[in-house]
Amino acid sequence: MKPSKLFNLSLAGLLACAAGGAALAAPADGVEILHKEQSLYRNIYVFEKGDVRCMRFTKYFRTGDSQSCMYKADPNRLFYDYAKVVMSTLYLNPDPQRILITGLGGGTLPAALARLLPQAEIDVVEIDPAVSRVAKAYFPFETSERVRVHDVDGRVFVKRAARSGKKYDLVILDAFNGDYIPEHMLTREYLEEVKSVIADGGVLAANTFSDSQLYHSESVTYAEVFGDFINVKVGNRLIIWQHGGLPSDERIAEGAKGFEEAFEPLGFGADWVLPRLSREQDWQTDAPLLTDQYSPSNLLNAR
Amino acid sequence: MLSKILIYAIACWTGFLIMAVELLSGKILAPYFGSSIYVWGAIITVFMLALSLGYLLGGRYSMHNPTIRRLAGILCVASLLVLPIIFFGEPVMDWLFDTIRDPRYGSLAASAFLFFLPTTVAGMVSPYSVRLLTHRHEVSGQNAGTLYFASTLGSAAGTIMASFHLVLWFQLDHIFWGLIAISLALGLPVLLKGDPHEAK
């Protein structure tokens, strides 16, 4: 091959790469970036497409795996199915007064809970202060005397709460994002700390997403600490548990009746939730237990 | 020749040991202090301080009768100083968690308590090895270069093995036990028998 031809070829290759790179970096059609910033922990993007506004930690603009999305015209309506399932845990314990949420995102859940339960005290733990700032600026999330954001690591907050004997009536674990799991927040020891801050009759709702080999280890670890739990798969996976024993399906259906009206503006009802609550143990029970000594969650999740 | 290979092997393995422990220290601290950037900052600061002191001490120690037995002894001591991580890690971090509320200084103190000593002693290996290898000053630079090559290659291997594979295969304590066992397997025979040439 003549040198000039080689040169032309490599030039063409370079141009193709550049074009490809530009196409990847540019937002898809109709997507408008409202905000982007680099925080201590990650990139944060806020973007809009049509009526939907989302917060995302990577720059590929899909609504599918964003941290948080909302309908601009109807901010009360829940965009994600997992958020609907979390709200439906009120069927089990209708009036939680002390609520702990690890992981803020756009603040959809604390905002919805604060509207619905005006007396409740809500502690939100979000390690990244930039996320809380963006949530307040672009999403209908507000802090107040009752809704507080603590910018510390979730494990550190829960361990301190456990040691000071603090109790919560509803604990929502929502600190994972699709790409990375904080491994110290998926171990037997952490879940034991979480369990110890749940009051009698209190409820746990853990939002995870694993569909890989990690699914089995995650299940084994939750089962080790909590025993039987309710398993919900709506794209994300949710684990629901109640201190003092899981209620029967009939009890849950009974509890749902009190919320049909309240949940209507959120965009779902009991007929959507109830069929999705499963008690089936569909995991390999011999999968390795995750502990502080053994927690390669991200490696297991990559398999 | 054999003693030269042994020196490089000890330096290479010490590099492995240091970086494997450093990578695992992040997992040791996370349950108490999280895994934020400042926890890694605390860990790396302590390791760098310990290594800088170790280099100083290793150089000093090499001034008096340097022998390969003593080099092997340094490795053995460094590896035994990993034991407190296994046995006292939890109580130390429990205490620090309750004493220091700011996780930045909590993780800095915990790193200092648990990792400073083994890393300092491990840091002595490189300068001490350079002294053992160097008999003429014309080749001192080359010897030092080859030694850093071996020890840093070991560090790279320790980093990738610990983070890609070991944490997937074993419990943290078992990895520490393995690191100690290999260090002693390499160091003890040399410490007891001395220079293979001198033995002849």
Quote the tokens at residue A17. 């790469």
Q: Which residue has the tokens 């398993």?
A: A231
Residue in chain A lying closest to B39 (CA): A153
Asked, for residue A169, whether it belongs to a domain, the answer is yes
Q: Does domain B2-199 have CATH number 3.40.630.30?
A: no
Interface with chain A: mutation pick from B28, B98, B105, B171, highest number of A CBs within 10 Å:
B171
> Is residue A2 scored above 80 in pLDDT?
no
Q: Which residue has the tokens 């982007």?
A: A36
Residue A174 among the catalytic residues: yes
β-strand partners of A240: A205, A230
Asked, for residue A166, whether it belongs to a domain, the answer is yes
CA distance B30 to chain A (A): 6
What pLDDT does residue A28 have? 60
Range of the domain at A121: 81-301
User: How many A×B Cβ pairs under 8 Å?
Assistant: 58
Asked, for residue A238, whether it belongs to a domain, the answer is yes
- pLDDT one-digit tens code per residue, A106-122: 899 999 999 999 999 99
CB-based contact A231:A262 (threshold 8 Å): no
Interface with chain A: mutation pick from B29, B32, B101, highest number of A CBs within 10 Å:
B32
- pLDDT one-digit tens code per residue, B94-137: 999 999 999 999 999 999 999 999 999 999 999 999 999 999 99
Chain B segment 18-77 residues within 8 A of A by beta carbon are: 27, 30-37
- Higher pLDDT residue, B51 or A1? B51
CA distance B168 to chain A (A): 6
> Is residue A135 scored above 80 in pLDDT?
yes
Spatial separation of the C-alpha atoms in residues A163 and A249, rounded to whole Å: 34
> Is residue A187 scored above 90 in pLDDT?
yes
Give the CATH number, domain containing residue A146. Answer: 3.40.50.150
Asked, for residue A227, whether it belongs to a domain, the answer is yes
CB atoms within 10 A of CB A142: 12
Domain segments of chain B as ranges: 2-199
What pLDDT does residue A3 have? 52
Lowest mean pLDDT among A212-216, A236-240, B4-8: A212-216
The mean predicted confidence, pLDDT, of chain A is 88
Structural domain tally of chain A? Answer: 1
